[in-house]
Amino acid sequence: MKTIFFDVDTQLDFVFPAGALAVPGAENIVGNLEKLTRFAATHSHQIISTADAHTEDDPEFKIWKPHCVAGTVGQQKCAVTLLPKHQTLTSQLQDFGSVPQIIVEKQMLDCFTNPNLSPLLKFLAADRYVLYGVVSEYCVQCAAFGLLNTGARVELISDAIQTLDPTAEKNLFQTFTARGGIITTTANVIT
């Protein structure tokens, strides 16, 4: 069974309290993010990492406070989620078959708005995705349903995600499991 770890928006502006659009409590999942990243690396599971990469006047900033402007410190990924060998996704899919970590840049909540992501997933043909990151009911939710649409098994790691609204997260869990998704924990995945 081919497994890919799918890491959503674990960037400094979201994860740490000093970030431009900090998600309260997200700093508490950093330990698990590190465990998952290490496990993927030592077991040669590729990691796909989505990352906001906005311009300074991005239309999204009418809805959300400015965050993750390309080239700023806040746009960088948390160090514990970044492998030395990573590459930003382009349309040259043949280059990405064995890259340990693929960065998928995006300007909207849904990572599937990057036109290269769906072709990449077809090309890599995973049977199983291990999904985590921020924020549960926004970007993680978009990723969760998009990954389920591929027909693969999708495991959402409940102690490596962070919500802004526990009720919305609960609704996500219900819809996600009703559609065949699996909710599990970091310990279950790495042991």
**Nearest Cα residue to 32 out of 151, 176, 162:** 162
Minimal distance, residue 122 CB to Zn ion, in Å: 26
52 touching Zn ion, by CB under 5 A? yes
Minimal distance, residue 52 CB to Zn ion, in Å: 4
Contacts of 90 (CB under 8 A, 6+ apart): 116
Q: Which is nearer to Zn ion, 7 or 52 (CB)?
A: 52
Minimal distance, residue 29 CB to Zn ion, in Å: 19
Distance of alpha carbon 11 from alpha carbon 71, whole angstroms: 12
Q: Which is nearer to Zn ion, 47 or 139 (CB)?
A: 139
Stretch that binds Zn ion, among 31-39, 45-53, 143-151, 175-183 (CB under 5 A): 45-53
Q: Which is nearer to Zn ion, 126 or 140 (CB)?
A: 140
Q: Which is nearer to Zn ion, 52 or 155 (CB)?
A: 52
- Count of residues touching Zn ion (by CB under 5 A): 1
105 touching Zn ion, by CB under 5 A? no
- Site mask, Zn ion, residues 143-182, x = CB under 5 A? ----------------------------------------
Minimal distance, residue 109 CB to Zn ion, in Å: 7
What length is written for the chain?
191
Minimal distance, residue 129 CB to Zn ion, in Å: 22
Give the CA-trace dihedral at 81, 85, 91, 97, to 10 degrees. -100
Q: Which is nearer to Zn ion, 137 or 155 (CB)?
A: 137
13 touching Zn ion, by CB under 5 A? no
Sites of contact with Zn ion (CB under 5 A): 52
